[in-house]
């Protein structure tokens, strides 16, 4: 059967010049009619075979080659490039993968985690379809064409992969490497960078930011209002530790609420923040009053995981209590950086929201004064007879959990940290590294995510992003 298929042609331009645009790959629109169960089953089997092939071929990406990941495929070539992947020497077990501390990401781990931790069934199907489109559809793919993206049309082009030789798999693996980097840089880089903190309500609000909500009301007022609502809803205490907010303690307000919450009434309280589940900055507009293209890409990927989730966070909706929880500053840092998440307990329902707070790396390095409760129940503690703020959204918490697990269980957290370090170094130094390892594309991507003031805050300039 091997001789039946020709080796796919190499890209017309060198790999280092090739670009992959998620804008032209990722699509989550419903198809009419939808894919048949047989097509879905065949596509899922093929997807996992591709992931297994990446593991056998030892395919990985490194952060300091992110603008142009080069071939990193291992194996025993017999000289003509035609041998089966099953003959590779390397076992590539997960135990071996963890021996590296250079920020490398094994592509099979990332794509397995994307599918495994995706929060919706439709999202899993979207991931499979979009990966097959990226690998096998004729390029460039028309992003508006439903027909070109349908599984019925993609599967005949993709199924010959099952008989590919090692040489035929190399272009597939190279495309997966580029796609892996694009997903990490387009979604997880901005989420991790901008989720660390929320714009300060006391800092200067630019005219650009004000235009997002209109001339009569700025971001400052909206965030002040959000903090007040979340303080009241959550009883003036961190939902994870039960520790009272410092300002609430000083005023003596909220003591009854804190007792109902079971909070720590001793001492002077601690600093709490209304932590966004999905970062506020993802809805900040540019000077023209439009959402930058880089942020559109973030929303496209989030919609791929959970179709339509962006409609719950459009415009000012991103700054509502459904997208916020009251956390201590230390917990906010870990939660915003996707290092921790809320895990639903078995008894959790729409009527009774019960969670536990989980550190993705299993490592709790919080001060001894911060106690993490074993069981967290979200309840509204605002006085009866007053408008009741919405509880944290189960949907948004599930999406945040998915992003945290994908990033950390795939081993990509250090990779993204390296990208952030590169961008910070470029910001502080203003020049590229002499060894050529700096990723200017990462710098420009982060710069395009926000205005100049927000960017300086994220990259360690003016302290604009701390409450």
Segment 156-179 mean pLDDT? 94
Alpha helices in 306-393 (DSSP H): 329-336
Tell me if 457 sits within 8 A of 465, measured CB to CB.
Answer: yes
Q: Above 50 in pLDDT, residue 136? A: yes
Tell me if 72 sits within 8 A of 161, measured CB to CB.
Answer: no
What is the C-alpha separation between 394 and 70, in angstroms, rounded?
A: 40
Span between the terminal Cα atoms of the chain, in Å? 64
Q: What is the DSSP code (8-state) at residue 188? A: I
pLDDT in tens, 393-424: 999 999 999 999 999 999 999 999 888 887 77
Sequence-separated (6 or more) residues with CB below 8 Å from residue 7: 81, 165, 167, 168
- Among 162, 79, 63, smallest CA distance to 442 is for 63
pLDDT in tens, 6-58: 333 433 333 333 456 676 667 655 555 678 999 999 999 999 999 999 999 99
What is the C-alpha separation between 391 and 373, in angstroms, rounded?
A: 19
User: What pLDDT is recorded for position 11?
Assistant: 36
User: What pLDDT is recorded for position 47?
Assistant: 97
User: What pLDDT is recorded for position 146?
Assistant: 61
Angle between helices 107-117 and 394-409 (to 10 degrees): 160
Segment 296-315 mean pLDDT? 92
What is the C-alpha separation between 452 and 427, in angstroms, rounded?
A: 11
What is the C-alpha separation between 111 and 410, in angstroms, rounded?
A: 8
Least confident of 183-192, 249-258, 329-338: 249-258
pLDDT in tens, 291-304: 888 888 899 999 99
Confidence bin at 206 (pLDDT 50/70/90):
very low
The average confidence (pLDDT) of the chain is 75
pLDDT in tens, 224-279: 889 999 999 999 999 999 999 987 665 554 445 545 544 444 446 788 999 999 99
Least confident of 107-121, 175-189, 357-371, 444-458: 444-458
Q: What is the reported pTM?
A: 0.78
């Amino acid at each position: 059967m091997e001789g039946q298929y020709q080796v796919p042609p190499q890209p017309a331009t060198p790999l280092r010049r090739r670009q992959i645009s998620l804008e032209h790959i990722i699509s989550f629109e419903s198809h009419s009619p939808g894919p048949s169960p047989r097509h879905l089953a065949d596509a899922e089997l093929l997807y996992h075979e591709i992931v297994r092939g990446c593991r056998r071929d030892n395919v990985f990406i490194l952060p300091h080659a992110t603008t142009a990941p080069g071939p990193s495929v291992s194996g025993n070539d017999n000289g003509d490039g035609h041998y089966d992947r099953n003959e590779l020497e390397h076992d590539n077990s997960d135990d071996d993968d963890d021996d590296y501390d250079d920020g490398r990401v094994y592509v099979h781990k990332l794509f397995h985690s994307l599918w495994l931790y995706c929060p919706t069934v439709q999202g899993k199907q979207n991931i499979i379809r979009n990966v097959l489109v990226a690998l096998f559809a004729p390029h460039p793919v028309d992003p508006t064409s439903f027909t070109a993206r349908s599984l019925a049309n993609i599967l005949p082009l993709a199924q010959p992969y099952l008989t590919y030789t090692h040489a035929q798999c190399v272009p597939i693996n190279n495309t997966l490497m580029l796609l892996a980097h694009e997903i990490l840089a387009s979604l997880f880089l901005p989420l991790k960078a901008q989720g660390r903190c929320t714009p300060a309500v006391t800092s200067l609000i630019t005219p650009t930011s004000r235009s997002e909500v209109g001339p009569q009301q700025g971001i400052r007022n909206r965030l002040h209002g959000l903090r007040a609502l979340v303080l009241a809803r959550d009883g003036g205490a961190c939902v994870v530790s039960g520790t009272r907010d410092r300002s609430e303690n000083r005023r003596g307000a909220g003591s009854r609420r804190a007792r109902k919450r079971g909070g720590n009434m001793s001492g002077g309280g601690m600093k709490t923040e209304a932590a966004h589940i999905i970062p506020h900055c993802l809805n900040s507009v540019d000077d023209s009053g439009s959402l930058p293209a880089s942020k559109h890409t973030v929303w496209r990927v989030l919609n791929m995981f959970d179709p339509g989730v962006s409609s719950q966070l459009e415009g000012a909706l991103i700054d509502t209590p459904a997208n916020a929880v009251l956390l201590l500053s230390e917990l906010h840092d870990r939660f915003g950086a996707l290092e921790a998440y809320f895990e639903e307990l078995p008894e959790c329902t729409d009527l009774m929201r019960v969670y536990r707070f989980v550190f993705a790396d299993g490592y709790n390095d919080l001060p001894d004064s911060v106690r993490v409760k074993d069981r967290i129940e979200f309840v509204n503690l605002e006085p009866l007879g007053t408008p009741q703020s919405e509880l944290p959204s189960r949907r948004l918490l599930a999406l945040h959990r998915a992003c945290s697990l994908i990033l950390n269980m795939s081993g990509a957290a250090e990779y993204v940290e390296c990208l952030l370090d590169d961008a910070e170094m470029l910001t502080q130094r203003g020049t590229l590294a002499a060894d050529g390892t700096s990723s200017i594309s990462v710098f420009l991507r982060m710069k395009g995510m926000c205005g100049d003031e927000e960017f300086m805050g994220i990259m360690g300039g003016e302290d604009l992003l701390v409450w």
